[in-house]
Amino acid sequence: GAMNRNPAICAIRNFDTRFIGFCKVAYGTDSGVSIHGTNAQEAVLMHEAGMTEMDVIVSATVNSADLLDKTSSLGTIEVGKQADIIATDQSPLDNIEALLSVGFVMKGGKVYKQ
């Protein structure tokens, strides 16, 4: 049969929660290029696949910075690091879908959306 090229289907098929705890999961895709602006949906899919909300957030912040060897400037909110911050109306720790509706964006200390 034809191979399914839907990025969401490919991501779910490639995702295996058995590895969480044994290796770091970094936020991103290995199923091709996603439509620009839809990457927050990956957080929802990762949670639906079995990751906790905190594990999803750590994968998008700390683990991704580590994978890129950029922990000195990215991954956590600390003095001296880049001020790349988003804010939502709800805590994504309570509802991961809150990441689908970002109300505030700061990158490098400059506010882009408020």
39: pLDDT strictly greater than 90: no
- What is the per-residue DSSP string for the chain? -PPP--HHHHHHHH--GGGBTTB---SS-SSSPPPTT-THHHHHHHHHTT--HHHHHHHHTHHHHHHTT-TTTSSS--TTS---EEEESS-TTT-GGGGGSEEEEEETTEEEE-
Q: What is the mean pLDDT of residues 16-30?
A: 70
Output the pLDDT for position 4.
56
pLDDT digits (tens, 9 = 90+) for 51-84: 899 999 999 999 999 999 999 999 999 999 998 9
Say whether pLDDT at 1 is over 90.
Answer: no
Task: Check pLDDT > 60 for residue 2.
Answer: no
Calculate the average pLDDT of the chain: 84
- The residue among 90 and 17 whose pLDDT is bigger is 90
